[in-house]
Structure 1
Amino acid sequence: MTTTHEFWLAGRRATGDAEFEVHHSYDGSLVGRVSVPTDAQVEEAVAAAAAVAPAFAATPAHVRATALDHVARRLTERTEEIARLITAENGKPIKWARGEVGRAASVFRWAAEEARRTNGETMRLDTDPGGVGRFAVVRRFPRGVVLGIAPFNFPLNLVAHKVAPAIAVGAPIILKPAPATPLSAMVLGEILAETELPAGSWSVLPVPNEKMPALVQDPRLPVISFTGSDKVGYQIMDSVPRKHVTLELGGNAAAVVLADWSSEADLDWAATRIAMFANYQGGQSCISVQRVIADATVYDALVEKVVAKVKAQVTGDPGADATDVGPLVDENAAKRVESWVDDAVTKGAKVLVGGTREGATYAPTVLAELPDDAILATAEVFGPVLSLHRVDSTDEAFAAVNDSKFGLQAGVFTHDLQTAFKAHQVLEVGGVVIGDAPSYRADQMPYGGVKDSGVGREGVKYAMGDFTYEKVLVLTGLDL
């Protein structure tokens, strides 16, 4: 008998009067049922969060840090169990699911450390005659309750990137997991319930998408942290212009291989990393490699290697240790990718490998000669598809990267330090990775984009900044 998972209302288990099912995208099996909160229960959670907000903001740093340390430790202890759950609800290969649990544990560990060392700053004000005897203390305080809206592609780690910074700064959080992948968030709730965090400081509510507008509009939730599609993200932002909204949205990430990256070892490394990170998570990552932009002097050799490396990606049961590429989150997602590739081929693109679908699994695919009017040329595919593009100079390569409405991250394969700094200067993205694919992310660094890739930054310290505001205390009459 399949278990019905309770949700977490103001830190305690609860059930509603309806439920929905979560199915494994690889074989269609039932993974679990999830209870849905009633409108009254959602109201109870929001009211509890608003009521506890002043007290939670005033909790000593050691209380929050100890709770965060506990979560990090328990995630590590339960790695295999949680990884299997991620694979079951999301479809990502178990090797990547284990990595996700490890990253989530790291996020909570970083949050514990940041909670302990967030001290504010001081400044003397007698730098001008009017400030003689005055001294300022600048500290950060929570903006209020955070509404965290998480996506399906990293059902634990991207939840962690909302919950951990909120707890670190003493901001209550209402977490809304993705309907396709709520189970990992429920397990996180189990672990949070083992801590001494005050009742009301956190809730995990699997609210249906159609009921979210009311939560988004609720004035008791002044901060919204959303990760997902640019369409939905900007709809949220436009609907609440007076709230503090952070958005981590889509991408169309490019890997640039320049002329100086030309040795056999160089090209083999680039091809390996491109093939891996175009297809990891089934391509369902905002910084998955979607475009490969290569200098003409290395293009042909690189193409041969990329195709070979992509062919070597093991596709199949995500529960098997050897699997590199599993299914997409559901069959509709795979059908959409299929339709986009078909559109590109109809308009003149050439399929070098892949281009086939079986259920929710889409084969790792490489396209050449992608026309500018293809959907894949401008939109985020969110699937295991990459396209190859030939350019004649570094300037042309960088212009091609910037020829996108998105600007999340880019990878640049070059040995030249000047070129690396030029990439950092001219590429319209939130992050540039030199000597590797654009898909590298360290969870403590600022992560986010420009243009339609969003506003604000994730990364524990930087999210803590988004969830708080600066308040100045001026002391007067001091002998400095």
Structure 2
Amino acid sequence: MNDANRPYPLLINGEWIETSESFPVLDKFSGETFAHVCKADEVLANRAIKLSEEALEAGAPPPYARAEVLYSAARLIEGYRDRMVEAMVSEAGFTTMDAGTEVSRAKLTLELSAETAKHFAGHVVPFGAHPGSENRIGFTVRDPIGVVCAITPFNSPLNTVLHKVGPSFAAGNPTVLKPSSLTPVTANIMGELLVEAGMPAGFLQIIHGSGGLGEVLLKNQTVAFYTFTGSTRVGRIIQSHAGLRRTQMELGSIASTIVCDDSDLSVAVPKIANAGLRKAGQVCTSVQRLYVQDSIYDQVLKELVEVAKTIVAGDPRNPETKCGPLISLDAAKRGEEWIKSAVAAGAKLHCGGTRNGSVIDPAILTDMPETEQAWCKEAFAPLIVLRRFSDFEEAIKGANDTPFGLAAGVFTTNMQRAMLAMKCLRFGTVQINETSSARADLMPFGGVKESGFGKEGPSYAANEMSIERLIVLNP
């Protein structure tokens, strides 16, 4: 619906609204302006929230109708695939393969959200188990929580957005969406899809802007629930404004994977390389710390370097490219600086680390000092740092030794080690014989510690975005 000479509009109450102010969106590889997007001011943001509240007061569509909208969107998404892929390659720097995978996952997320809407209900309370209450009948009902504000990141501009919008609508809520200002175009195309699928006016508002717009959304007390994916720093700000209102936070991470000497390296090494270096390492569960047992350390290092050297980094439009640009030139310069700083401090760089514009060649490092940022802070760049271990409990302790706890992976065929990992790794997700970065869209996904709280995954997120009430029928 957009032409090259007009900025992408806002979606408010079912209508596409253009504003006098807009901002540029850059192609992340070339650095050139890819599109312009309309900017919402405080008045429009508050209007979007008010219209959402009015839509909910008028009544959410029944569950079967909500499901049909989401199913319809899933059926229609193939017709939007090319535009979505083109947008993500440009504004997110995704390779065409990664962008295509994002669309396929988004279709599944829509279908899962539709199923959630159909089965969204409470449960029966077994009053017969309580003496004197055996004649009571009790059950819970789930109601919409209210206006949901969704603030989404640049590194998954379609599927993460739908992991918030889909479950929110499945639960009967209207959503005010503020996508990342670095990747707003994909969200607009998604909005077109949902409008065509029959999304009722007022149940999806899409507004664009920078951090100042976020502050407006946080100050408005009509918002009942905030769902956010991003940095721990911003998460703290949102939580401080939310007060007693509920939130779901998916925040920072330093993800670890542990490789034991009984692992099948023909399986583990390719998975690790992909999980650490795809999307230029800009995934919250990317393998950043890799703990490898002494007896296989040299072999894993050799094989991982060999794989990393084969990964083509560069123009995401090139079919051979597997590692595209970082989200900005500043992000790429930061990654380069962290690698150089680590090498100057004694780390060994085995391959990669060279920056060309916003692209960094995939880097494998060892002998990393613990004080270096590439070890103790979230890198969000295509680098993997190896550390050897002799005792499995030592590796678990090392993986736990961060403020974060989003996801971890362990490769082992030893059941005792697997059980110890399940018990002792303090992460929201622990993958056995997988990397930290494996995810299925139906699973409960979320962190502990400074990685946040609450769960994504349509059925789990819908529960977060609802109010559970108890009804008791007394004789």
TM-score, normalised to structure 1, is 0.96
Residue 100 (structure 1) aligned with residue 107 (structure 2): no
Aligned to 2:9: 6
Could you report, residue by residue, the CA deviation over 1:275-318 in whole angstroms, capped at 9, with x for unpaired residues? Answer: 11111011000001101100101101110001101111111210
Residues 313, 360 of structure 2: 8 Å contact kept: no
- Looking at structure 1, the residues matched to 59 and 404 of structure 2 have their Cα atoms a distance apart, in angstroms, of 37
Alignment RMSD: 1.3
* Matched AA of 1:106: L
**1:310-325 matched pairs, under 5 angstroms:** 310-325=308-323
The answer for the alignment partner of 1:437 in structure 2 is 435
Using the alignment, how far apart are the partners of 2:134 and 2:433 within structure 1? Answer: 52
In the alignment, which residue of structure 2 is the partner of 1:447? 445
Question: Cα deviations across residues 51-89 of structure 1 (Å, max 9, x unaligned)?
Answer: 1123444x2111100100111122233223211211111
Q: CA deviation at 1:336?
A: 0.9
User: Match for 2:34: what amino acid?
Assistant: V
Alpha-carbon distance between aligned partners in 2 of 1:179 and 1:286, rounded to the nearest angstrom: 19
Aligned to 1:125: 127
- Which residue identity is paired with 1:51? E
Confirm or deny: 8 A CA contact 2:95 2:316 kept in the other structure: yes
Query: Deviation per CA, 1:81-109, whole angstroms, max 9, x where unpaired?
Result: 21121111100111001000111111110
- Partner in structure 2 of residue 212 of structure 1: 214
Post-superposition offset of 1:421? 2.2
> Is the 2:365–2:384 contact (alpha carbons within 8 Å) kept by the matching residues of 1?
yes
Written as runs of structure 1 = structure 2, the 5 A alignment for 1:141-220 is 141-220=143-222
Report the equivalent of 1:419: 417
For 1:291 and 1:444, locate their aligned partners in 2 and report how far apart those are by CA, in whole Å: 26
Aligned mate of 2:27, from 24, 28, 39: 24
Does the CA contact (< 8 Å) of 1:17 and 1:37 recur in 2?
A: no
d(CA) in 2 for partners of 1:151, 1:388: 28
> Is the contact between residue 84 and residue 319 of structure 1 (CA under 8 Å) also seen in structure 2?
no
Match of 2:261? 259
Q: Give the superposition deviation at 1:3.
A: 3.7
Q: Which residue matches 2:473?
A: 475
Counterpart contact for 1:53–1:172, Cα < 8 Å: yes
Query: Which residue of structure 2 lines up, in the alignment, with residue 400 of structure 1?
Result: 398
Q: CA deviation at 1:439?
A: 0.8
Residue 47 of structure 2 corresponds to 44
**Alpha-carbon separation, structure 2, partners of 1:56 and 1:31:** 39
CA distance in 2, matches of 1:179, 1:242: 28
- 5+ unaligned residues in a row in structure 1: which ranges? none
Q: How does 1:221-232 map to 2 (within 5 A)?
A: 221-232=223-234
| Structure-1 separation of matches of 2:337 and 2:145 | 43
Structure 2 counterpart of 1:451, one-letter code:
K
Partners of 1:94 and 1:319 within 8 A in 2: yes
8 Å CA contact 1:16–1:38 kept in 2: the answer is no
Q: Quick one: which amino acid aligns to residue 452 of structure 2?
A: G
1:238-258 per-position Cα deviation (integer Å, ceiling 9, x unaligned): 232211111101211111101
| Contact 1:280–1:325 (Cα < 8 Å) also in 2 | yes
Structure 2 residue identity aligned to 1:398: I
Which residue does the alignment assign to 2:286? 288
SS at match of 1:4: coil
Q: Which of 228, 233, 236 is the matching residue for 2:235?
A: 233
Q: C-alpha separation between the residues in 2 aligned to 1:139 and 1:421?
A: 37
Q: Does structure 1 retain, via aligned residues, the 8 Å contact 2:250–2:446?
A: yes
DSSP-derived class of the 1:425 partner: helix
Partner AA of 1:224 in structure 2: Y
2-structure distance, mates of 1:328, 1:80: 22
Alignment partners' CA distance in 2, 1:54 and 1:124: 33
| Letter paired with 1:255 | T
Q: Is the 8 A contact 2:276 2:383 kept in 1?
A: yes
CA deviations over 1:128-157 (Å, ceiling 9, x no partner): 333132110111112111000000000111
Task: Please give the alpha-carbon distance, in whole angstroms, between the structure 2 residues aligned to 1:428 and 1:169.
Answer: 30
1:237-248 equivalent positions in 2, closer than 5 A: 237-248=239-250
Alpha-carbon distance between aligned partners in 2 of 1:119 and 1:42, rounded to the nearest angstrom: 32
The answer to whether the 8 Å contact 1:283/1:385 transfers is yes
**What is the number of equivalent residue pairs in this alignment?**
472
Per the alignment, do residues 106 and 129 of structure 1 end up closer, same or farther by CA in structure 2, a change over 3 Å counting? same
Q: Is the 8 A contact 1:107 1:443 kept in 2?
A: yes
Identify unmatched segments of 5+ residues in structure 2: none
What secondary structure sits across from 2:214 in the alignment?
Answer: helix
Moved beyond 6 Å, runs of 4+: none
Kept in 2: contact 1:50–1:145 (CA 8 A): yes
Query: 1:335 matched to which residue of 2?
Result: 333
- The SS at the match of 1:45 is helix
| Alignment partner of 2:369 out of 357, 371, 374 | 371
Aligned residue for 2:22, secondary structure, equals strand
The answer as to whether partners of 1:66 and 1:112 remain within 8 angstroms in 2 is yes
Equivalent position SS for 1:294: strand
Asked if structure 1 preserves the Cα contact closer than 8 Å seen for 2:42 and 2:216, the reply is: no
What is the DSSP-based 3-state SS (H/G/I as helix, E as strand, rest coil) of the residue aligned with 1:290?
A: strand
